[in-house]
Amino acid sequence: MISVLDDDNSGDIDYRELITGLEIFRDTSFEEKLKSESSLASFYLLVFFDLCDVDKSGTITKKELYDVLKRSMAYEEEKAKLKRTSTSFNT
């Protein structure tokens, strides 16, 4: 994933590379996003970037992204376990 988003081949993803790379999932253009800094989508991207940029270097390293994705997957697995447990108590 890093190599797909890393336009300058630095090995890290900066904020501009992140929003440019995620552009394919949005209906608005990159320029519109930059103009609407106060939009909710921009806010969520900034929060996501901040969560990933653990060392506050201004870039997301491979390790930082891996750790965030790993934590997210662990959270989803725990949530699924809790749901299965609660379902078994209700039957």
pLDDT one digit per residue (tens) for the chain, 91 residues: 677 778 888 988 888 888 777 776 666 565 665 565 556 667 777 888 888 899 999 999 999 999 988 988 888 888 888 888 877 766 5
Between the CA of residue 76 and those of 37, 67, 81, 82, what are the distances in Å?
A: 30, 14, 9, 10
Q: For residue 38, report the phi and psi dihedrals to the nearest 5 degrees.
A: -85, 0
User: Which helix (H) or strand (E) segment is 20 a member of?
Assistant: helix 15-21
pTM for this predicted structure: 0.53
Quote the number of domains for the chain.
1
Domain at 21, CATH number: 1.10.238.10
Residue 19: which domain range?
2-90
DSSP string, 23-71: GGG-SS-HHHHHHTTTSHHHHHHHHHHHHH-TT-SSEEEHHHHHHHHHH
DSSP 8-state code for residue 13: E
